[in-house]
Amino acid sequence: MSEREQDKSQIAGMDGQLQDTHDLPYAVELWSEDGQGVERVLARAINMTLARAIYLSAQKEHPDRRIVLRHLSSIVDQMS
């Protein structure tokens, strides 16, 4: 992975320390129009409150697409 790509997978915490985004347990996924898989991860979140807000916003922005809210590998909610 290039240095630039690596920077995209990190965020700065409140303490200024970089944290790998894959350590964030919640993910909001936008699925491909054909339903065959994840087109992209729209966001990752540290807690359910933030993840749910992002999920609801994604539903409004992409009303005709499948949006999945995950906690680790488990599906918490989805809209098709």
pLDDT digits (tens, 9 = 90+) for 22-79: 789 999 999 999 999 999 999 999 999 999 999 999 999 999 999 999 999 999 999 8
Higher pLDDT, 60 or 20: 60
Position 8 scores a pLDDT of 56
- Give the pLDDT of residue 19: 56
Domain segments of the chain as ranges: 21-79
Place of tokens 């729209």: 42
pLDDT, position 6? 42
Residue 23: the pLDDT is 84
Give this prediction's pTM. 0.76
